[in-house]
Amino acid sequence: MTDDAQLPLARRYDTALLDLDGVVYRGADAVPHAVQALLAAAELGMHLTYVTNNASRTPQAVADHLVRLGLPAAPDDVVTAAQAVARMIAEAVPAGSKVLMVGGEGLRVALIERGLVPVESADENPAAAVQGYRPDTTVENLSEIAYAVQRGVPWFAANTDMTMPTARGIAPGNGAMVTAVSKACGGWPRIAGKPETALHRETMLRTGAKNPLVVGDRLDTDIEGANRAGVDSLLVLTGVTTREEAESAEGVHKATYIADDLRALL
């Protein structure tokens, strides 16, 4: 009988829960070695699920991007923080409620799929307010969230990632914008994305994974989220975390495995 420790990760775990930005791609381009490694992992029997804190795009748009990079992917292979936060809101407010939304198409579609009505103004009497990443977010957008929060409207966020890796460098993420609202009016939203467990719950409900491996590039989201959910993790050094940071991490930020890139799955 083969010792599991001698098997590649793609054989030891049934499903890879793959972060996207900084792991599979940066902006429009694939991370070096990512596509070839994932295709090989799938050949070994590993199911590939793409799990992202980025709530700006729909699962269809993400799947189309992955296909353009050379990865076979369908919308059902993608789970987003937008889907997770939409479920949270739908469980907290009556069906058909208005939700003040600052975010991209992915968040709008996720809210509609849950029977909620996205609106853009705090004056439309929303039952909840939610923030998701959108690169063209304005001060006026953030002000509407602040007005609603000050009126006592329940506040949600798809994620609180402070940065967003892009092809040009590191840009401010949704967490930076959430922090701006918090500084203006106090309080803090309920959060769906990693490291909170709502996105992991959404992923488990959608994939049925039995022995997953979380794969990411961030200690404070991907790795902490994996540890809080009680599953193993692979930290790849193709995004925001350096090797020194990864190797010195402790507690909930300590990854099961550390590698240069996704070839570690093999």
- Catalytic positions: 19, 21
Residue carrying the six token digits 């940065």: 163
Tokens of 39: 């295709």
Alpha-carbon span 220 to 216, nearest angstrom: 10
Tokens of 15: 């499903």
Q: Are 88 and 192 in contact (CB under 8 A)?
A: yes
Amino acid symbol at 219: L
Among 139, 119, 113, CA closest to 206: 113
CB atoms under 10 Å from CB of 54, counted, come to 23
Burial 89-125 (b: 16+ CB within 10 A, else e): bbeebeeebbbbbbbbbbbbbbbeebebebbeebeee
Alpha-carbon span 3 to 8, nearest angstrom: 11
Q: Are 94 and 127 in contact (CB under 8 A)?
A: yes
Which residues, other chains included, contact 78 with Cβ-Cβ below 8 Å and sequence gap of 6+? 49, 50, 51, 52, 59, 62, 63, 66
Straight-line distance from the first to the last Cα atom of the chain, in angstroms, rounded to the nearest whole number: 20
The DSSP secondary-structure symbol of 253 reads: G
Burial class, 11, CB count within 10 angstroms (exposed 0-12 / middle 13-18 / buried 19+): middle
